Chains A and B, each alone.
Chain A
Amino acid sequence: GQSLEQPSEVTAVEGAIVQINCTYQTSGFYGLSWYQQHDGGAPTFLSYNALDGLEETGRFSSFLSRSDSYGYLLLQELQMKDSASYFCAVRSGHNTNAGKSTFGDGTTLTVKP
């Protein structure tokens, strides 16, 4: 089966940098995604890594190491609005047209003034 581990809670101050780690066990791995969710609203896509390395999108970056089954989300210049839950999700399957995602339990990020 699939399993993902990420910290349940992280706290940081405005303007700081925070890293949210995710380790996974899966078969048929295709890639690792990150989603943000505010107060039980609809999750929104942040990033996707299919290959090893760092992907940067504005203040957010995501990293993947396939050999270590590990990735992280890096949030820079934290703002109060970044307080939310962050989920890593593994895309897996045995058919590239039938990819499905398994989600971690989420990390609640609290940004303090």
Chain B
Amino acid sequence: NAGVTQTPKFQVLKTGQSMTLQCAQDMNHNSMYWYRQDPGMGLRLIYYSASEGTTDKGEVPNGYNVSRLNKREFSLRLESAAPSQTSVYFCASSEEGTIYEQYFGPGTRLTVT
């Protein structure tokens, strides 16, 4: 099992450009999440999806859109990148149960100039 995979690993964008970050999980989890992590900070939830076909806003959704393409895949889109969106983006997935463990992907390091 690959767990949670993310592409790309690194990306540099110019202000105003758009891009989509891809995330996939092979653990048959219902819930998926997108976080951003700025230097020296914790993870802040951008969007999450409790199940295929549903998405909800997290703490910092402005400037982002998401698509839960199927149970495996959850993508994050930046329509018009801004320098404030320079960050490390982590995708995660979890299965509901008594132990609420989130599995994280390796992250995408995004720089917007």
A contacts, CB < 8 Å to B: 4, 30-31, 33, 35, 40-45, 48, 50, 87, 89, 91, 95-106
Do the beta carbons of A43 and B100 come within 8 Å of each other?
no
Do the beta carbons of B42 and A105 come within 8 Å of each other?
yes
Which of B50, B98, B107 has the most CB atoms of chain A within a 10 A radius of its CB? B50
Which of B58, B99, B102 has the most CB atoms of chain A within a 10 A radius of its CB? B102
Known: A96-B96, A99-B96. A44 touches B42 (CB 8 A): no
Q: Give the distance to chain B from A97, nearest Cβ to Cβ, in Å.
A: 6
Do the beta carbons of A42 and B41 come within 8 Å of each other?
no
| Contact residues in B for A101 (Cβ distance below 8 Å) | 33, 45, 100, 102
**B interface residues, how many (CB within 8 angstroms):** 31
| Contact residues in A for B59 (Cβ distance below 8 Å) | 102
Identity of the chain B residue whose Cβ is nearest the Cβ of A50 in the assembled complex? B98
Q: A42-B90, A95-B50, A101-B33 are in contact. List 18 more A-B contacts (CB 8 A).
A: A4-B42, A31-B100, A33-B100, A33-B101, A40-B37, A41-B106, A48-B100, A50-B98, A87-B43, A97-B50, A97-B96, A98-B31, A99-B50, A99-B94, A100-B58, A103-B44, A105-B40, A105-B42
6 A/B residue pairs, CB under 8 Å, sorted by A:
A4-B42, A40-B37, A100-B45, A101-B33, A105-B41, A106-B40
B112 interface residue per 8 A CB criterion:
no
In the bound assembly, the distance between CA atoms of A49 and B109 in angstroms comes to 31
Known: A87-B42, A105-B42. A99 touches B100 (CB 8 A): yes
Q: Give the distance to chain A from B97, nearest Cβ to Cβ, in Å.
A: 10
Interface 0/1 of B87-105, CB less than 8 Å to A:
0101000101011111111
Identity of the chain A residue whose Cβ is nearest the Cβ of B56 in the assembled complex? A98
| Contact residues in A for B74 (Cβ distance below 8 Å) | none
Do the beta carbons of B50 and A41 come within 8 Å of each other?
no
| Contact residues in A for B58 (Cβ distance below 8 Å) | 100
Among B56, B96, B104, the residue within 8 A (CB) of A42 is B104
